[in-house]
């Protein structure tokens, strides 16, 4: 029987492999945006992103810049969010996709070049160290469910991320429960309250 940490590594690799395969298939297509909707649970991403944005807008209604940590090779959340944030011709949202895997970042860039104007506003940053990028300019910072494979890694990533954000910015930590725990690691974060002087 696999240990939990070993199983999570396999699941993480499988999820990235699936998204990487789909991105490579899309990159050979002249109709990338149309085929993007063929991704097995694209509709779920659109619904989840819409729900998350509606919740976030109750706290901070003006979202211009978003960072997504753990964006992977197929940045579906970022693309769905970009589409939904373009509420008017004056709205030019920017989404910074951050991942520790250089191949995932390059695959994302390739896909966004193919998507043309539909991906305008997508930016990319590859880093192995969470502290390499300031997050001060971002209104919202997302942490992917697969960012931080162990409980300790996730908690360290959350604390490091909070330390680099503005006080009035929002952090969204994706996690799962129930049967979804078979696909993604379940994390329950218990962080000491951050006390400011």
pLDDT at residue 194 greater than cutoff 50 = no
What CATH number does residue 15 fall under? 3.40.50.150
Establish if 23 belongs to a structural domain. yes
Q: Which uninterrupted H or E stretch holds 69?
A: strand 65-69
Rounded to the nearest 5°, which phi and psi values hold at 125?
Answer: -150, 125
- Report pLDDT for 186: 62
Instruction: Supply the DSSP symbol for 136.
Output: T
Judged on CB neighbours under 10 Å (0-12, 13-18, 19+), 178 is: exposed
Cα 124 versus chain centre, distance = 11
Q: Which residue would you say has higher pLDDT here, 75 or 182?
A: 75
CA dihedral (71, 156, 187, 184) in degrees, to 10, reads: 30
Structural domain includes residue 187? no
Number of domains comprising the chain: 1
Q: Is residue 191 part of a domain?
A: no
Confirm whether 194 is domain-assigned: no
121 in a structural domain: yes
Whether 197 maps to a domain, the answer reads: no
Per-residue pLDDT tens over the stretch 163-173: 999 999 999 98
Domain limits at 25?
A: 4-182
**Whole-number pLDDT of residue 97:** 96
Rounded (5°) CA angle 33-105-51: 55
What is the rounded average pLDDT for all residues in the chain? 78
């Amino acid at each position: 029987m696999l240990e939990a940490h070993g199983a999570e590594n396999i699941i993480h690799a499988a999820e990235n492999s699936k998204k990487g395969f789909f991105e490579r298939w899309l990159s050979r297509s002249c109709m990338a945006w149309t085929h993007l909707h063929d991704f097995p649970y694209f509709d779920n991403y659109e619904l989840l992103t819409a729900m998350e944005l509606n919740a976030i807008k109750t706290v901070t209604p003006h979202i211009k810049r978003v960072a997504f940590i753990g964006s992977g090779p197929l940045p579906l959340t970022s693309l769905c969010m970009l589409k939904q944030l373009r509420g008017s011709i004056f709205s030019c949202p920017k989404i910074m996709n951050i991942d520790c895997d250089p191949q995932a970042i390059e695959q994302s860039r390739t896909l966004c070049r193919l998507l043309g104007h539909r991906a305008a506003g997508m930016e990319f940053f590859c880093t192995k160290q969470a502290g390499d990028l300031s997050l001060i300019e971002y209104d919202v910072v997302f942490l992917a469910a697969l960012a931080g494979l162990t409980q300790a890694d996730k908690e360290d990533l959350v604390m490091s991320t909070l330390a680099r954000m503005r006080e009035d910015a929002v952090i969204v930590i994706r996690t799962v429960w129930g049967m979804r725990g078979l696909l993604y690691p379940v994390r329950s974060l218990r962080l000491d309250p951050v006390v400011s002087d």
